[in-house]
Amino acid sequence: MTTAPANQPLLEIRNLRIEFPTRRGILVAVDDISLHIDPGEILGVVGESGAGKSLTGAAVIGLLEPPGRIADGQIILEGGRIDNLPYEEMRKIRGRRIGAIFQDPLTSLNPLYSVSRQLVETIQTHLPLSERQARARALELLQEVGIPGAEERIDHYPHQFSGGMRQRVVIALALCAEPRLIIADEPTTALDVSIQAQIISLLKRLCKDHQTAVMLVTHDMGVIAEAADRVAVMYSGRIAEVGPVQDVVRRAKHPYTHGLMGSIPHIGHAVAKLTQIEGSMPRLQEIPPGCPFNPRCPEADGRCRAERPELQWIENTEVACHRFDAPEARSQAGD
């Protein structure tokens, strides 16, 4: 298996465009986005429902639901393009080089099969191991993800595990073939806060120990702040802001990101009222010209309503906002 050079991202998404053909025309769900993830890095992709974040993850893993299609752009894994591969070739990559963790573990686990059978079958599909060796590896994985009493529980069925334990089994399933990349789509949403923290800690440890890269898709900025190294904020299928998580969380530059940050309560900081972003994200057929956030932006002007802003570097982050085009605006951003 080829591996990316040390200075090359493990995953690159270049100018990705995802469309949905309809009787009324073509709807653009993801519009010309570019991202990268380095080995051992967790990239958080955050935004409201309908922002295009889950579709981006589905495109990477080759699981776009028809009639959705990749209309333009490239997806490059460890130096090789994968978005144009035949179905069978992509099927070999899925599981072996790319793992997946989804929001509801019950959709990833077969209720009719024991956990051991599902793990062993997945391991043997991708690795040249005997059934005995595969079972030993399955047991190691369950222990690694923190299943207590793994020796006894390996032959249990999914319904015999709690929600948090099921999600740990799904993570073990995603790690079966030692993939280089994991797409984690809302992996903590259905779990209570204490279990969320455990799952986040587990993902971070796996990244550190195995140098696995993770695309963490979520709408929860708290999860991003705790888990991610960098964050990409999406709005209406476009990237609004991307950069190191601490820079984006503490010094949000795009008005949309700033609104997201202001809507989160902070312990020890008393405020009379949390920030509220007026309105809602437009439907795909109603995305306005210019900046898609302009109808909800308190700082929008005529240019915002007419001209699409491109990503530009401001300090350590990239921001798609006309406010930073002028030299004086750039100077103020650096203050």
- CATH number assigned to the domain with residue range 11-97+177-266+274-334, chosen from the 4 options 3.20.20.70, 3.30.980.20, 3.40.50.410, 3.40.50.300: 3.40.50.300
pLDDT in the model for residue 93: 93
Read off the DSSP letter of residue 321.
Answer: -
Rg (C-alpha) for the chain, rounded Å, is 21
Which residue, among 210, 247, 252, has the nearest Cα to 228 in the 3D structure? 247
Above 90 in pLDDT, residue 19?
yes
Model pLDDT for residues 249-290, shown as the tens digit of each residue: 989 999 999 888 876 666 565 566 667 788 899 999 999 999
Model pLDDT for residues 273-284, shown as the tens digit of each residue: 667 788 899 999
Average pLDDT (231-251) is: 95
> 332: helix, coil or strand?
helix
With tokens 């051992």, the residue in question is 40
Residue 95 vs residue 15, higher pLDDT: 15
- 230 HSE (CA, 13 A, CB side): 19
Q: Answer whether 111's CB lies under 8 Å from 119's CB.
A: no
Model pLDDT for residues 119-164, shown as the tens digit of each residue: 999 999 999 999 999 999 999 999 989 999 999 999 999 999 998 8
Above 70 in pLDDT, residue 231?
yes
The DSSP line for 185-243 is ESTTTTS-HHHHHHHHHHHHHHHHHH--EEEEEES-HHHHHHH-SEEEEEETTEEEEEE
> 74: helix, coil or strand?
strand
Above 80 in pLDDT, residue 75?
yes
pLDDT in the model for residue 205: 87
pLDDT in the model for residue 1: 44
The average confidence (pLDDT) of the chain is 89
Domain ranges of the chain: 11-97+177-266+274-334
> 314: helix, coil or strand?
strand
Dig out the tokens for 218 from the structure.
């979520």
pLDDT band, residue 103 (cuts 50/70/90): confident
Dig out the tokens for 211 from the structure.
């140098």
Read off the DSSP letter of residue 155.
Answer: T
With tokens 């929600």, the residue in question is 163
